Chain A
Amino acid sequence: DSGVTQTPKHLITATGQRVTLRCSPRSGDLSVYWYQQSLDQGLQFLIQYYNGEERAKGNILERFSAQQFPDLHSELNLSSLELGDSALYFCASSPRQGARAFFGQGTRLTVV
């Protein structure tokens, strides 16, 4: 158990819909990262937050957004969903920038 909790574990939704994925980092970790893993793309970095502020952006679509709240949990919002958004979404946390990251077990999103 990494200490990083992601909910829900599975999510099935229709095209055009909007979903919210939630991540609770390890106690005290200030950095949260989001990754997407689809069959044909591998693990892709989406975005990083550090103590509530956005710190780095990767290959995140404009239809996706994220935020980190004062209690340090984070949410990834995916809107206008397309079939190609079906993937595993992982959250990771670390106590500070650059430190080793601990990953959650992921949310499997299926868009039908």
Chain B
Amino acid sequence: DAKTTQPPSMDCAEGRAANLPCNHSTISGNEYVYWYRQIHSQGPQYIIHGLKNNETNEMASLIITEDRKSSTLILPHATLRDTAVYYCIVRVGETSGSRLTFGEGTQLTVNP
């Protein structure tokens, strides 16, 4: 699986958009970008994933650059409950071994 690079920490004001970047410059054509988050020692929670098109669900939006070397997770209106470690993971999609390789992630702190 391709390696990812994320900033170790970010701050965001409550109610504002949180934009979390991820660099995955060695991504292969068949690799998806997945985002998970972990709220204080709870089990990681799936947020969103995509291949090359931008994706949106009820939790977040995922913007993937045209060359697919980087992406941004957007939480449109961050709340205090969004404070968590966010992991960007690149892995082959639904056709092969599916372990998730977690890096260090980004600690997002949402401030009141």
Contact = CB atoms under 8 A, between A and B. Distances in A.
B9 interface: no
Interface in A50-101: 55-56, 58, 88, 90, 92, 94, 96-101
Report the interface size class on chain B.
Answer: 20 to 34
B44 A43 contact: yes
Q: Is the interface of B mostly helix, strand, loop or mixed?
A: loop
B99 A33 contact: yes
B41 A88 contact: yes
B68 to A, nearest CB: 18
Interface residues of A, number: 30
B3 to A, nearest CB: 14
Given A2-B43, A90-B44, A58 B49 contact: no
A102 B93 CA distance: 16
Contacts of A102: 46
Contacts of B92: 98
B94 A103 contact: no
Interface of A: 2, 4, 31, 33, 35, 37, 42-45, 48, 55-56, 58, 88, 90, 92, 94, 96-106, 108
